[in-house]
Structure 1
Amino acid sequence: MRIAIRVKPGASRTRVGGTYGADGAHAALVVAVSERAVDGKATEAALKALAEALGVPRRDVRLVSGVTSRDKVAEIPDPPAGTRERLNALRAG
């Protein structure tokens, strides 16, 4: 399962939810993190927050593209049952 995310570094608190960009299934999931975009800290924090929000171990979430961009694609190769439903709930806000 691949998930488009939009990282918002420097937020007051970490939050996963809502969408950015196109409507529907193609919209990016917003992941706000308190870490700044320095030395990959915001990216790592975003992947950790995404894993926690979806209820999967961090080691199961890998970055596919967007190392230096706010727009990233993460992948969960073998998502457990219910992951898609959690993702849809997070996108709803």
Structure 2
Amino acid sequence: MDPWRYSTGGVSVALRVTPRGGRDDIDGLETLADGRVVVKVRVRAIADGGEANRAVTELMAKALGVPKARVRILSGTTSRLKQIAVDGDPAKLGDALRKLTAAKPDQPQDKGKE
């Protein structure tokens, strides 16, 4: 199951964010203990004063090819688990998310995804 939901104006995406992660990157998908699937994201910014949230929205905007103003945090501003909204063509955003979260050849896949 994909960690994003489609709406008429875009998509909402469930994220698990690692602040101070060494680099700004999307690390694929992760299955949480409760069975939910999320997109794993890491940012260099620290979780202080909204810096990590800003870094997350900028990273997702750049990765999805949309302006920063089209990405906003819906919930989880003070949590590692966040829900973001991305405005745009839902089909194109879904395709982009699928490509961004596909297992990279040099990384093992998450064992819980089969």
TM-score norm. by structure 1 comes to 0.86
Aligned residue for 1:17?
27
Unaligned runs of 5+ in 2: 1-10, 104-114
Match of 1:5 in 2: 15
Cα RMSD for the two superposed structures: 1.6
Number of aligned pairs?
A: 90
**Structure 1 residues 43-62: aligned runs within 5 Å:** 43-62=53-72
1:85 correspondence with 2:95: yes
Identity of aligned residues (%): 34
- Structure 1: stretches of 5+ with no match in the other structure: none
**Number of the residue aligned with 1:40:** 50
**1:65 and 2:75 are equivalent in the alignment:** yes
Q: After the TM superposition, which segments of 4 or more aligned residues of structure 1 sit over 4 Å from their partners?
A: none
Greater fraction of residues in helix? 1
Structure of larger gyration radius = 2
1:35-83 deviations in Å (ceiling 9; x for gaps): 1111110111011101111111110011110010000000123336522
Give the C-alpha shift of residue 5 in structure 1.
Answer: 0.9
Which amino acid is the alignment partner of residue 8 of structure 1?
A: T
